[in-house]
Amino acid sequence: MPVTPLRLISKSQNGVGAFVLQCKRMEFNYCDWAGSSKGMNSFLKHHLPKFAKANPQIEITVSPRPHKHPIIRGEYINGREKVICVRNLEHNQILQKAELLRNSSGLKLRRVTKPVSSMNESVRGIFSPFHGTGYAI
Amino acid sequence: MKRIRNLTSVNSLLRPVAAPAINASLSLLHSSASTVASAAAIPETPSPELQPQLLSTLPPSRNALASAKLPALHARLNLHPNYPIQTLARALVDPSADKNPRFTNQNLTTLGNTLTGYYAAEYLMVTYPRLPTEVLYAAVSAYVGNKALASLGREWGIESAFEPTADVDAGLLQFSRLAPGVDPKAALHRDPHAGSTLEHAMANLVRSVFAGVYLHEGLSATKQFFRQHVLSRKLDVDKLFDFTQPTRELSRLCAREGFEPPVARLLAETGRHSRHPVFVVGVYSGSELMGEGHGGSLDEARIRAAVNALKGWYLYSPPEKDLPSKTEESRDAKFKPAYIDPGEVIV
């Protein structure tokens, strides 16, 4: 047959239809001995239940990590993870860090130079010197 | 397409683990992979090897309530509270992980496959009525084929267990892998219980989730779920075409439709004898421009123009699009039948 198909797959556009939160798992590591974990222990007691309830899409794990600074580890759908050491922070600051992890995708931080990034071609089209009325000198 | 009958005995399809009594409607569970609607007459008592062991404590791989991943997945997909966690857990168990079909997703997969295939096909057929058959199949596969659904499953954050042992988390996709060197297509066709590939298992999982949405949330919720998760994905249908001899095909198309024979005319050019010439060629039928193409040589530009003319024909999309499944929701809905094309150009 003159027309043969090419096998491609559709590309996802998260948010166009359904939105899937990119952060799928957060692990909170605390220590009962270290002084740097005081804020974290307080966060786990007072703020974590509300945070977990507000974000049911995130699987939250709490585990002790003895004799180490407290950390929050966020795992994302693209397979990457982000770890933030929350040593010596207050519980409200730790909540801010948790929200920061929740709000990111797993992508590496990169500088955005262009104002628009899109999968669709431009609406107005790209300039062509061969179309239109031409340029009279 | 046969209308999907409302399954009256939903319970039999979704009976949870370690239920005390096995219901006589196992006929639905033992049905062949072809359609769910055909419930053949099957003897009431199941065979001894399929009698499940009644355990006093559930193993972690079957204990849906003990897993943290399942409620997270449920919330991530925004499923209705009517959709139980247990169905989601069952959707995660591939037939290669368990011999008993009461605990695996094979029946859900069949239903989900029917649903997704139908909705994708009807959308594409109504949106692009003139699409050639092969390209239509490729487009349907691009939306709901194994690779596409496997990618969707990964984007839902579903991980797989390395081996389907009893101690894995119930929120992991459980399937047993094929031995290295085995041809996956032949092996999957032969025996689904022997092993599966990750792509196949993930795609079946997504189909099972769709089936669960249909069973627990209803028809309109299924359509919305499909639109939000599958149709929202980007597919450039014009990139699926691969033409050989487009000029010949275009001239046969014009002959069939009664247009004047196509003539290629040079619209603009620059740098003819230089290293990078640009030619812009338009294909005309009489005085009407059908397609335009550019290229580094006259031939390339002419072929591109013919390809663009053919794409302009095949990718026609009518302004009013009424999906046939509109009538499933209400019989009084005003339905305008889709445009039916005479078919592809025979060269």
Q: Sign (positive/negative) of CA torsion B164, B167, B169, B170? A: positive
In contact, B11 and B215? CB cutoff 8 Å = no
- If one counts every other C-beta atom within 10 angstroms of the C-beta of residue A83, the result is 12
| B37-B38-B40 Cα angle (round to 5) | 145
Fill in the DSSP letter of residue B316. Answer: -
A33-40 average pLDDT score: 96
**How far does the CA of residue A25 sit from the closest CA of chain B (Å)?**
9
CA distances from A12 to B142, B143, B153, B199, B303 (A): 11, 10, 11, 17, 32
Instruction: List, for residues B199-233, the tens digit of each pLDDT value.
Output: 999 999 999 999 999 999 999 999 999 999 999 99
Q: In what order do the strands lie in the sheet with B262-270?
A: B262-270, B278-285, B288-295
Residues of chain A contacting B137 with CB distance shorter than 8 Å? 5
Residue B28: exposure state from Cβ atoms within 10 A (0-12, 13-18, ≥19): buried
Helix (H) or strand (E) holding B268: strand B262-270
Judged against a pLDDT cut of 80, whether residue B9 lies above it is answered with: no
ipTM surpasses cut 0.85: yes
A56-74 average pLDDT score: 97
Residue B34 pLDDT level (bands cut at 50, 70, 90): very low
Strands A23-30 and A59-64: parallel
Residue A3 pLDDT level (bands cut at 50, 70, 90): confident
In chain B, the residue whose alpha carbon lies closest to the alpha carbon of A52 is B72
pLDDT for B162: 95
Question: Residue A18 is nearest to which of B78, B141, B157, comparing CB atoms?
Answer: B78
Tokens representing B44? Answer: 């009431």
For chain B, what is the mean pLDDT?
Answer: 87
In this prediction the pTM is: 0.87
In contact, B86 and B102? CB cutoff 8 Å = no
| DSSP output for A62-92 | EEE-TTS--EEEEEETTS-EEEEE-TT--HH
Helix (H) or strand (E) holding B185: helix B184-190
pLDDT for B50: 63
Judged against a pLDDT cut of 50, whether residue B40 lies above it is answered with: no
- In chain B, residues 5-64 whose CB comes closer than 8 Å to chain A: none
Judged against a pLDDT cut of 50, whether residue A72 lies above it is answered with: yes
Check A18 against B244: CB less than 8 A apart.
no
A17 interfaces chain B, CB cutoff of 8 Å? yes
Instruction: List, for residues B152-188, the tens digit of each pLDDT value.
Output: 999 999 999 999 999 999 999 999 999 999 999 999 9
For chain A, what is the mean pLDDT?
Answer: 94
A92 interfaces chain B, CB cutoff of 8 Å? no
In chain A, the residue whose alpha carbon lies closest to the alpha carbon of B145 is A9
Instruction: List, for residues B309-336, the tens digit of each pLDDT value.
Output: 999 999 999 999 999 999 988 888 888 8
Residue B23 pLDDT level (bands cut at 50, 70, 90): very low
User: What share of residues in chain B are helix, strand, coil (percent, to 5)?
Assistant: 45, 10, 45
